[in-house]
Amino acid sequence: MIISHFELIFKPQSPNSPPSTGPVDNLIQGYFLEITNLSSQTIEYLLRFRAARATVPNRSLAGNTIYILDRPDIDNQFGRLNGSFLATSFTPSTGRIELDPNETALVAVLPSAFGPIPGIDTSPLTSPNFEVRGIVELSVPAIAPPSTGGTFTRPVAQTSSPVPTLLTPQNRTTYFKADGTISDQTQASLPTSTGAALIEIAPDRGGFVIPPLDRFDRFDFDFFDASGFSNADLLAGLLANTDPETAELTELNKAMAEAGIGFAIERRKVKAS
């Protein structure tokens, strides 16, 4: 379900300074989202950020953002948004957001402008020339039940009814003078896609369906994030069911590149024994 738009910025406040004035402030703007589970059971939420495919590095979420999750039992868990430069869909590296009944989580996504963070962000932004806009989605994905010894198990819906969820999205902005000191801070609530703060999210129904394996031009790897399985297991299962004689590998490789999977498949002739 679409929650709101987002806008991440690390740039000067305007392209040029007004005549006879000093340099304009730089600003850092992040996206903040409070999520409250109002249902009577524990829920795992999946958060996703979508943006247009970038053509230059300073317009991509890949490698340019940090993700922070604060829950009642987790104090500021740092991560990043997973996705390649060619991707249009990005999910948190920390995984899903699990909330007990009436628990609230705060999510923050910020431009990577705070120096290296070991294991999370080793190449932060060093100059104020970054901005990305897009939409934020929140879902209640199907989850894999406890393993019974097989490789694949059918994911099941978390609940049979929509999940009441309270959402508060915001932009928060900090302004910096030329000497690096903070000159101002602002925050503004963002409209939700429904116009309401309380929404009901229909749970994913579950199941594991491999699409027609000769039509990868219509294949969507987003289900990897929501399936409850590792990408390696799902990709192995996908390739095992691919007909090497008829599958359109060009489209498969294109889909994998857009999903941030950093290798390609090629067809080879098998030597006669």
Judged against a pLDDT cut of 50, whether residue 200 lies above it is answered with yes
User: What are the residue boundaries of the structural domains of the chain, listed by start?
Assistant: 2-201, 216-258
Mean pLDDT of all residues belonging to the chain:
83
Residue with tokens 């997973």: 82
Q: What is the pLDDT of residues 214-250, one digit of tens each?
A: 555 545 555 555 555 556 666 766 676 666 666 777 7
Residue 270's pLDDT band, with cuts at 50, 70 and 90, is: low
> Given a cut of 70, is residue 83 above it in pLDDT?
yes
Burial of 231 (0-12, 13-18, 19+ CB in 10 A): middle
Pick the residue with more confidence: 94 or 261?
94
Position 25 scores a pLDDT of: 86
pLDDT at 243: 67
Token couple for 201: 């999210």
- Count CB neighbours of 238 within 10 A: 18
Helices (H), the chain: 223-226, 231-240, 249-258
Rounded Cα–Cα distance for residues 169 and 192 (Å): 7
So what's the pLDDT on residue 232?
Answer: 64
Mean per-residue pLDDT, 237-266: 72
The total of other beta-carbon atoms located within 10 Å of residue 19's CB is: 5
Query: For the chain, what percent of residues have pLDDT higher than 90?
Result: 48
C-alpha distances (whole Å) from 29 to each of 14, 43, 113, 175 are: 14, 29, 11, 9
Angstrom distance (rounded) from CA 34 to CA 187: 14
Confidence of residue 100 (pLDDT cuts 50, 70, 90): very high
Q: What ranges make up the beta strands (E) of the chain?
A: 2-12, 26-37, 43-51, 65-71, 74-79, 81-82, 89-92, 97-99, 104-111, 130-139, 163-176, 182-189, 198-201
Query: What does the pLDDT average to over 197-217?
Result: 70
59 pLDDT more than 90 = yes
Greater confidence (176 vs 259) lies with 176
Q: Which of 231, 185, 193 is nearest to 28 (CA)?
A: 185
Question: What pLDDT shows up at residue 192?
Answer: 96
Core vs surface per residue 56-85: b (16+ CB within 10 A) or e: eebbbbbbbbbbbbebeeeeeebbbbbbbb
* DSSP for residue 241: T
The pLDDT confidence band at residue 77, using thresholds 50, 70 and 90, is very high
pLDDT per residue as tens digits for the range 112-160: 988 888 888 888 888 889 999 999 999 999 887 665 554 455 678 899 9
Does the pLDDT of residue 44 top 90, yes or no? yes
- Average pLDDT value for residue range 170-184: 89
CB atoms within 10 A of CB 122: 10
Task: Assess contact for 99 and 69: CB atoms under 8 A.
Answer: no
Residue 212 pLDDT greater than 50, yes or no? no
Distance from C-alpha of 190 to C-alpha of 4, rounded to nearest angstrom? 7
CA distance 115 to 126: 8
DSSP per-residue string spanning 188-207: EE---SSS-SEEEEPPP-B-
pLDDT of residue 223: 55
pLDDT at site 207: 60
**86 vs 258: CA distance, rounded Å:** 5
Closest CA to 193 of 149, 141, 137: 137
* Pick from 261, 183, 266, 264: nearest CA to 222: 261
54 pLDDT exceeds 60? yes
Find the range with the poorest average confidence among 69-78, 174-183, 263-272.
263-272
